[in-house]
Structure 1
Amino acid sequence: MKRIDLFDEFLPRDFKEGVELLKAQWRRRPLPIQLFLLMCLNLIIAPAVYAAAGTEIDRRSAWALGMLGLLTLGLSIYVFVVIFQPEHF
């Protein structure tokens, strides 16, 4: 039976090379890539904060509130892991 590789079928070759480069860079230097992905995630969160607040806050404040929320979530996950797995730290 022939195996169908959906990754090869639907995505262009350049995208696959980009994903492979991202995986290789993730192993070497994960912090810059994590920060980039965090900023990309904030592109989704900041407009939602801005829309929920209406005209009471400006876009810059919505961006800052989105980053603050993501930072708070990340720190709470980190503290949760440190509390339940202290031998790793």
Structure 2
Amino acid sequence: MAFSEDISGLSFEAALQRLEAIVRQLESGDAPLDAAIGLYEEAQALRSHCESKLSAAEARIAQLQLDQDGKPVSETPFAS
């Protein structure tokens, strides 16, 4: 891994913001090859981190199924 920052502590928003900055930098074509490879590796780690955060958030979101009296009958996972 060519980058030094530990991304595990980043919020989803911070990781996404860094990922977007890397994409802009790579798309500009200004980074030398070695730097571009390092940026790509960091982007892959950030993408994985964001996917993990999203999966965890989806797992916490549930839809309640209510009976005729409005009482919860069951919980089903959030449908994306």
TM-score (norm 1): 0.35
TM-score (norm 2): 0.39
